[in-house]
Amino acid sequence: MAGKRSQNLVLTELDRAILDALAADPLASARAVAETLGAPVAQVTGRMRALDRCGVSHVLAVLDLAAAGEQICFVSIEIRGHALQSVASAIGAIAEVMLISTLVGGQYDLLLMIRFGTLGELQGLVTNRICSIEGVYRCMVSTVLDIPSFQAHYVLFDSSPEPEADFAETMREVAEVFAGQVDELDCQIITELLGNARQSINMIARKYQINASTIRYRVRSLESRGLMRFITVFDPQALGIQVFALVEIEPRANCLVDVVASLRGRPWLPQIFVTTGPASIKGIMHGANLDTIKRIKNEELMGINGIIDVTITTLSGAYKNDIRWGNKYT
């Protein structure tokens, strides 16, 4: 999916309504979407196929970090003496690194989002594995304390070709992170759905020669226990989103809660994190262009009571984006 782009598809009013319906119910059938919208089934079916074929929308199965007993943090990396791409490639080989994006115009060169279990594991991951990579000159770690908002519908796509997923390796990783919560069949189902979230229950049942009702029950159990869920992601370019940026906000000490409340629900800020450090509110924002980002900063962010300072750094694509991982807000 990462390399697909909807460059030649002009979205219609029906297309946008379909995308809204799929955001609410990622596994909805064309018939169900048609009934919701009051549109002909054949027409909705054709448009859903076109949206999928052009990469505008895609359904994913995601695993829950909290259910796996894991947390996330941001790591900003400054690189010296080595090519950015080679350093990013070396960091990308670390399984716990979920996101690697280029920071444009700031003092740091790469933004990482990593998952970890304990603070001891985080220290070992940063000190022994990331900072030991040649070219990593300096790093700043900001641990995420809370996630007031996280909408994963718009994602930074990795522009490099997607490697073939190793089924056995993915199964091993699923079994490891959910140790004691899943059995072999659960791991098989999860791995199948991570590879293709829209494949049918019957298809999985036939592959493993198990009754379809058993597979259906297991999928519902995984969802109800919060281990896995389904989401719909969209190609942002198809919706006129050309720029992503990291926004770092320093609130007054007694205004953190109020500032977060003011930020919630703003369409250009789908992801909000409360972190350690002076800029204790971080977010991923987007806009149609750089002028839109500047306008938002000057006219909206700086007008919020309780904000001391705002720093915005443009994100230029993603070297890696492992969007298999979500959270309760996804």
Q: What is the pLDDT of residue 154?
A: 63
Average pLDDT, the chain: 89
- Would you place residue 289 in the very low, low, confident or very high pLDDT band (cuts 50, 70, 90)? very high
Q: d(Cα 75, Cα 96) in Å, to the nearest integer?
A: 12
Residue 2 has pLDDT above 60, yes or no: no
Task: Retrieve residue 301's tokens.
Answer: 């962010």
**3-class SS letters over 262-319:** HHCCCCCCCEEEEECCCCCEEEEEEECCHHHHHHHHHHHHHHCCCEEEEEEEEEEEEE
Q: What is the pLDDT of residue 327?
A: 54
Task: Retrieve residue 52's tokens.
Answer: 């999928």
> Long-range contacts: 162-169, Cβ < 8 Å, 24+?
162/1, 162/2, 162/3, 165/194, 165/195, 167/191, 167/195
Residue 3 has pLDDT above 70, yes or no: no
- Would you place residue 165 in the very low, low, confident or very high pLDDT band (cuts 50, 70, 90)? low
The CA-based diameter of the chain, rounded to the nearest angstrom, is 61
Q: What is the pLDDT of residue 6?
A: 54
Q: What is the pLDDT of residue 41?
A: 95
Note whether 139 and 77 are within 8 A (CB): yes
CB atoms within 10 A of CB 123: 12
- Percent residues over pLDDT 70 in the chain: 92
Task: Retrieve residue 104's tokens.
Answer: 């444009």
Domains and CATH numbers, the chain: 13-55 (1.10.10)
More confident residue, 158 or 312: 312
User: pLDDT digit string (tens) for 5-15?
Assistant: 555 678 899 99
- Please state the rounded mean pLDDT for residues 125-151: 94
Predicted model pTM: 0.85
Note whether 91 and 100 are within 8 A (CB): yes
- Please state the rounded mean pLDDT for residues 246-263: 95
User: pLDDT digit string (tens) for 190-246?
Assistant: 999 998 898 899 999 999 999 999 999 999 999 999 999 998 888 888 888 889 999
How big is the CA angle at 314 (ends 156 and 105), to the nearest 5 degrees? 140
Task: Retrieve residue 54's tokens.
Answer: 């052009």
- Please state the rounded mean pLDDT for residues 99-113: 93
Residue 329 has pLDDT above 50, yes or no: no
In terms of Cβ atoms closer than 10 Å to its own Cβ (0-12, 13-18, 19+), residue 47 is buried
Q: Which residue has the tokens 């969209």?
A: 234
